[in-house]
Amino acid sequence: MDNIKVRDVETRKVLTWTLNQVLEEINRDRSEDWTDYDTSDWCEGWRDWVQDDGYFELVDVIAEVNILNGVTSIEKGAA
């Protein structure tokens, strides 16, 4: 997955983020004991730490459905 569409909740602007940007958002401002989420579990990280914080929401329907269904990784080219 190369690009992920997210919406800034305040401005309602749709942004196109790379997976690295998504990971930065999930892992930002954590304690030094924090274990970073990575490409294998970013969906879980988004669901647990970003989805309900009120700043960003996923616009990418496939990614959002997978997160809500508990899928914790998405391989490029997977259907």
pTM listed for this prediction: 0.73
Which tens digit of pLDDT belongs to each residue from 16-74? 999 999 999 999 999 999 999 998 888 889 989 998 888 999 886 566 666 666 665 55
> Is residue 3 over pLDDT 90?
no
Higher pLDDT, 78 or 19: 19
Token pair belonging to 8: 């800034």
Q: Which residue, among 61, 63, 25, has the nearest Cα to 43 in the 3D structure?
A: 63
